[in-house]
Amino acid sequence: MKNIKFLIIAAATLGFVIATSCTDDLNQLPHEETTSASVYAEAANYKLVLAKLYASFVISGQEKGGGNADISSDNGENSDYLRIFFNLQEVPTDEIAYTWLEGNNMTNIAYMKWDVREIWSSDMYYRIYYTIALCNEFLRNATDEKIAGFSESDRKNIETYRLEARFLRALAYSHAMDLFGDIPFVDENDPVGAFLPPRYTRAQIFDFVVGELTEIAPALPSVKDTEYARANRGVAYTLLAKVYLNAEIYAGKACYTECIAACKNVISEGYSLETNYSKLFNADNNLRTNEIIFPFAVDAEHTTSWGSSTYLVCGAIVTTDAQKASDYGVDEAWGMFRVRPELPRLFGDVTTSKDSRAMFHTAGQTLDVSVMTDQTQGYCVTKWTNLNDDGSKASNTASDGVNTDFPMFRLADVYLMYAEAVLRGGTGGSAQDALNYVNLLRQRAYGNSSGNIAASELTLPFILDERGRELYWECTRRTDLVRFKVFTGGDYKWSWKGGVKEGAATDAKFNRYPIPYAELSANPNLYNDDY
């Protein structure tokens, strides 16, 4: 079977009241369909609940396509974690030209003009804390005391599940820290029921995430001993490297030496680059475990979603005659997005570029975007498909969504993090290794050494551009631009930044999304510094 079989079972009596507002439409409590006592009475159910923790990143409800939603959403059943995360990480950057601005409530995100009532950031906030709540409830029921009555083999399995739940919680907290900054904190030791969690600073959340990952990483199983799409040592060390790379933003201190060490731990796990870049993003990408360190697993049978990677594949195909949906293994084109011109310009002239990562449809499309909502303006990204390796369609997307997993962590990113950390002054690595890692990516991209760079060309501006070439549309761009201090302000103006075609300087407050207004009203411990 391609993925973990995500048998969804309610992890009920969840211990974190995500919003304590008295108004029904603001009540974000997860659904409760059974009780903790019945769920956790049998050892076998722990894996089923663990599957729900993983699935919470790609589906939004208990039924096919997000029906019977886990939590209410202002953006409908399609607002699963990955779809919202993609929107917040990509749409306001130089990588997306969004088509349905008004219809999908995306105008403020696309133009970097949101406020505390922004529904997309609100949905992300509640979706993150729903996942955290699931993890906390699982951990409350997976203590040594709670599992003492099970067999030794069952206890050992649950002890590993416990590590995975802590990783998934750390991942969710890392996203909350990155997107929102100072946020409420709650763990499995806090009381169940009405509870107003304290506000933690971003630095405190950083310390928590680092502490969790440092403890669990060496205790997790190796890559070869791990079921597909589950956390292992390499996965935990990759997240640790990401957090360390951004430590100056999160905690006001440089942790580049620690980032290098974490990258080396990942590399030592034995990963290798996939030879064909495009195969990392097709329906058979579950076969790329050599490079894909951690995917969000999606398939048409068990995790059908109109969000997640279905959103990326169908949304990238325009509804005009310029493209045929069948060429990408899908039944429908949605036309959500093209790209702003800055992304293809990273490759020079994409129609003649020898860089195989320049995956754009240009026929019938203009490079520049003078009207954001015009589907003929802006090149189309062809990176994501629902095609198998043999070119066949993987699933009926009209009824079942795509079969393409989302590669959350890849070895290529680790190589680029290593190189950046070396350039930023981290110790324990070498400039030669950094150059070698970058050139490995470029050799794959060009098919030979013609795209290799010299040591003098390996600079921080080059790294930012190379991350754009290698990782576009993989939910890293906003974080990268913030780290390089060009997401806001006027040092880098891309098309439609700030809602102006030629780009405009934006306020530094937009480096973070705001805590939702409803949360501020419900919890007096919370406030936004800049909104």
- The pLDDT tens digits of the residues spanning 199-217 come to 999 999 999 999 999 999 9
Q: What is the mean pLDDT of residues 215-221?
A: 98
Would the pLDDT of 70 be above 60?
A: yes
Range of the domain at 160: 9-92+109-200+485-531
What are the tokens at 174?
């890392």
Specify the number of domains making up the chain.
Answer: 1
Of 68-72, 142-146, 274-278, 336-340, the range with the lowest mean pLDDT is: 68-72
| Residue 72 included in any domain | yes
| Residue 37 included in any domain | yes
CATH number for the domain including 512?
1.25.40.390
Q: What are phi and psi of 296, to 5 degrees?
A: -85, 110
| Residue 364 included in any domain | no
State the average pLDDT for the chain.
Answer: 92
Helix (H) or strand (E) holding 166: helix 152-180
| Residue 276 included in any domain | no
With a pLDDT cut of 90, the percent of the chain lying above it is 85
Give the pLDDT of residue 400: 84
| Residue 297 included in any domain | no
Tens of pLDDT along 158-198? 999 999 999 999 999 999 999 999 999 999 999 887 789 99
Q: Please report which residue ranges of 286-354 form alpha helices under DSSP H.
A: 308-315, 342-345
Would the pLDDT of 23 be above 60?
A: no
Nearest to 307 by CA among 48, 474, 512, 64: 64
Question: What is the rounded distance in angstroms from the CA atom of residue 334 to the CA atom of residue 314?
Answer: 5
Helix 81-90 / helix 119-140 crossing angle, nearest 10 deg: 130
What pLDDT band is residue 77 in, cutting at 50, 70 and 90? low
| Residue 250 included in any domain | no
| Residue 124 included in any domain | yes
Of 116-130, 293-307, 435-449, the range with the lowest mean pLDDT is: 293-307
CB-based contacts of 215: which residues, under 8 Å, 6+ apart? none
Give the pLDDT of residue 76: 62
Q: What is the mean pLDDT of residues 452-460?
A: 98
What are the tokens at 57?
């990143």
Would the pLDDT of 151 be above 80?
A: yes
Tens of pLDDT along 31-46? 344 567 789 999 999 9
Would the pLDDT of 29 be above 70?
A: no
Give the pLDDT of residue 528: 96
Give the pLDDT of residue 78: 64
Give the pLDDT of residue 142: 98
Question: What is the rounded distance in angstroms from the CA atom of residue 278 to the CA atom of residue 264?
Answer: 26
Q: What is the mean pLDDT of residues 445-452?
A: 98
What are the tokens at 193?
């029921």
What is the bridge-based pairing of β-strands 360-361 and 380-381? antiparallel
Q: For the chain, give me the number of helices (H) and strands (E)?
A: 18, 8
Of 14-23, 126-135, 176-185, the range with the lowest mean pLDDT is: 14-23
What are the tokens at 223?
């890559």
Give the pLDDT of residue 69: 72
Q: What is the mean pLDDT of residues 322-328?
A: 96
Q: 452 near 442, Cβ under 8 Å?
A: yes
3-class SS of residue 310: helix
Question: What is the rounded distance in angstroms from the CA atom of residue 170 to the CA atom of residue 161?
Answer: 14
3-class SS of residue 509: helix
Would the pLDDT of 20 be above 50?
A: no
Tens of pLDDT along 225-249? 999 999 999 999 999 999 999 999 9
Would the pLDDT of 13 be above 70?
A: no
Tens of pLDDT along 87-103? 999 999 999 999 999 99
Q: What is the mean pLDDT of residues 485-492?
A: 98
Q: 310 near 334, Cβ under 8 Å?
A: no
Nearest to 329 by CA among 407, 404, 405, 379: 404
Q: Quick count: other Cβ atoms within 10 Å of Cβ 103?
A: 10
Q: What is the mean pLDDT of residues 391-415?
A: 94
- Structure-model confidence comparison of residues 249 and 401, the more confident one: 249
